[in-house]
Amino acid sequence: MNLIKPKKLQIGDKIRIIAPSGPVEADKIELAKTYFEQKGYKVELGKHLYSNLNYLAGNDNERLEDLHEAFNDDETKAIICARGGYGALRLIDKIDYELIKKNPKIFCGYSDITVLNIMFYQKANLITFSGPMAQSDFGNEICTFTEDGFFKVMDGEPLSIPRYNSIVYNSGDAEGIIIGGNLSTITSLCGRDFVPDSKFMLLVEDLNEPVYKIDRYFTQLLAIPKFKTNITAILLGEFLNIDNQDYLKDFFRSLSKELNIPIISGYPISHSKTKETVPIGAYGYLKDCVLEIKNYTA
């Protein structure tokens, strides 16, 4: 695959904020807009950003229009998603991936935005970013760790992501394309062509999921032959508000014996305020439990 690397973000560039998933809180979006403007960036809000249709940020056509317009605008250099929730999955069969290929930009989000990160890699060859969002991060008091990491990645600096307070369920070195984000959201892509054709490392986190569902998600993903054949490592972020930590540890111990690939916890990928910004679709190396990624921007 001929990967497309977005250009680095520079002071004075225009950032566009869109909401491909759930409805937003206007006051927090305005705080995020002010935050980026004070940093020296121009900010434009998607035309339908404040639309609201039950649990969606407007209907599918409105959310899709904002997505397409953001990529089609030559002045926009980065697209920051407002929030997750639900809704991005409804768009993936309607997206013009050729438009995205021809107009590559920084695209950043996590949680429900995971489906777009993965499909932009798979269908448009574009490296995107699992990282902070306008409402949930920049519209609140931003965590210094998250802020520093975001701007280092936007500047294309080589990434070195260590583990914190971790368990090494199965040690070893690995390499491959970085794919991942929110585990339950990734599983929602089953039935679609989302699995990389080359070797990949899976980086995952989740929130408010009982352990039996985490077991189910992995079982479902690993039932895909190409997924099980091509995966080289599982790097675990935070699994917040889990019903039973002992069950979770037992499950990953069992999985490590079954797969015999590196499975390591403790990476700062999370729904919490503290999170790394990770290039999805970039090539990474796992050595001595440290994830190294470079050359992911143009």
Q: Mean pLDDT for each consecutive 10-residue tract of the chain (298 residues)?
A: 93 98 98 98 98 98 98 98 98 98 98 98 98 96 96 96 91 97 98 96 97 98 97 97 95 96 96 96 96 96
How far apart are the C-alpha atoms of 206 and 271, rounded to whole Å? Answer: 7
Active site residues: 111, 205, 271
Predicted pLDDT of residue 167: 93
Q: Both tokens of residue 101?
A: 């290929």
Residue where a domain stops, chosen among 123, 154, 185: 154
Beta strands 278-280 and 263-265: pairing type? unpaired
Which residue range is the domain that position 111 belongs to?
Answer: 14-154
Q: Is the domain of 216 the same as that of 145? A: no
Predicted pLDDT of residue 46: 98
Q: What angle do CA 211, 217, 220 make, to 5 degrees?
A: 140
Q: Is the domain of 20 the same as that of 150? A: yes
| Residue 277, domain CATH | 3.50.30.60
In this structure, is residue 57 part of a structural domain? yes
Burial class (CB in 10 A: 0-12, 13-18, 19+), 245: exposed
Q: Is the domain of 108 the same as that of 237? A: no
Query: Cα(first)–Cα(last) distance of the chain, in Å?
Result: 16
Residue where a domain stops, chosen among 129, 154, 179: 154
Q: Is the domain of 27 the same as that of 131? A: yes
Predicted pLDDT of residue 297: 96
Q: For the chain, what is the domain count?
A: 2
Predicted pLDDT of residue 151: 98
Residue where a domain stops, chosen among 96, 123, 154: 154
Q: Is the domain of 92 the same as that of 178? A: no
Predicted pLDDT of residue 166: 84
How far apart are the C-alpha atoms of 198 and 179, rounded to whole Å? Answer: 11
| Residue 59, domain CATH | 3.40.50.10740
Q: Is the domain of 177 the same as that of 48? A: no
Q: Is the domain of 41 the same as that of 119? A: yes
Q: Is the domain of 209 the same as that of 227? A: yes
Predicted pLDDT of residue 164: 87
